[in-house]
Amino acid sequence: MRELVLSCSEDRAEALSDILLELGVLSVSVEDADSGTERETPLFGEPGGEPDVQAWNHNRVVALLPDDIALETLLQALAQQSGEDYAGSAVVREVADTDWVRLTQSQFAPISITDQIWIVPSWHRENPEVPNADGQGHPILIELDPGLAFGTGSHPTTHLCAQWLAVNLQSQQTVLDYGCGSGILAIIAAKLGARDVVGVDIDEQAVQSTEYNAQNNRVQVKACLPDGLQAGTFDIVVANILSNPLKVLAPMLCGRVAPAGRLILSGVLERQAQEVAAAYAPWIDMSVWRSHEGWVCLAGTRKQT
């Protein structure tokens, strides 16, 4: 395959990228032409937002070309649409063929959450490093491929919540996984013997991923958007999100915990633990159950009334 490399100023980078895509290139990226020099300039935006500018003073626009596109024809069309002739400055370079599927898969190995819980991508089904199930569900092997929804089992917060479930969940307890993402915690709960497991997420893609992954792992998990969550409480409510939404959700999540039920929170950095616990203090006393790589898992029990 080939890449076409063009140089342009900040005010032309976005338009040039759009034109190239319209002309049929496979992908476009914009790089800082001054990268690695004293003139290199970082782009910063506010958290959760984008930088005020979308390119640098001097840019390289790199377009991946399909095999059937004629370079001369592309440059002629580019000149017509952009009003600039890039023929004299364009650089074409060869790109080594890569098995992108295999490369991506190589980055995701089986993950041992505990000795008895493994997350196994589908392409590792026959991996000799993964223990075989004994026919009675031990160890618990959860097949989960990386996808559009958050949660492959690799993040410390997922480990913490899964470990809590492995230690504390009792058979036939009801579980709400709020912010379910891929459904990994809901599936673990169901595999551990929970009943009436519900996963909730604000992202429709996450709801679909949870439903698919639950079906693929042969467990029953009801997944829905927040508006679809029916009234009622649960023996265990787990929310692995982030500290700010957790603080906002405190009244609602506490209200979903049955008397004597347990609330489990993660997605919280160690320095944020006290602040998050304070948000839940009017309803449930939360404390750090375990920490891992700078993240904590908070747990608390709702008082019986």
Count the alpha carbons within 13 Å of 46 in the hemisphere toward its beta carbon: 2
Domain assignment of residue 267, yes or no: yes
Task: Give the Cβ contact number of residue 255 at 10 Å.
Answer: 12
Quick one: which of 193, 158, 150, 200 has its CA closest to 179? Answer: 200
**Same structural domain, 90 and 115:** no
Which of 97, 123, 156 is the last residue before a domain boundary? Answer: 97
pLDDT (0 to 100) of residue 98: 59
pLDDT (0 to 100) of residue 108: 64
Which of 23-32, 189-198, 234-243 bottoms out in mean pLDDT, i.e. has the lowest? 23-32
Domain assignment of residue 254, yes or no: yes
**Same structural domain, 29 and 170:** no
**Same structural domain, 54 and 152:** no
Give residue 175's Cα distance to chain centre. Answer: 22
Domain assignment of residue 142, yes or no: yes
**Same structural domain, 120 and 6:** no
What CATH number is associated with residue 290?
A: 3.40.50.150
Segment 55-77 mean pLDDT: 86
Domain assignment of residue 234, yes or no: yes
Which of 71, 97, 123 is the last residue before a domain boundary? Answer: 97
Domain count, the chain: 2
Residue pair 284/302 in contact (Cβ under 8 Å)? The answer is yes
Residue 237 above 80 pLDDT? Answer: yes
Segment 20-40 mean pLDDT: 78
DSSP state, residue 226: G
Domain that holds residue 232: 107-301
More confident residue, 45 or 23: 23
pLDDT (0 to 100) of residue 54: 47
**Same structural domain, 88 and 126:** no
Enumerate residues 6+ apart whose C-beta is below 8 A from 208.
223
**Same structural domain, 34 and 143:** no
Segment 227-235 mean pLDDT: 96
Which of 74, 97, 120 is the last residue before a domain boundary? Answer: 97
CA distance 251 to 244: 13
Enumerate residues 6+ apart whose C-beta is below 8 A from 128.
none
Is residue 85 left, alpha or beta, with left meaning phi > 0 and alpha meaning psi from -120 to 50? beta
CA distance 189 to 187: 5
Amino acid at 288: V
**Same structural domain, 185 and 210:** yes
**Same structural domain, 46 and 140:** no
pLDDT (0 to 100) of residue 49: 45
Domain assignment of residue 102, yes or no: no
- Chain-wide mean pLDDT for the chain? 85
**Same structural domain, 37 and 177:** no
DSSP state, residue 242: -
**Same structural domain, 170 and 44:** no
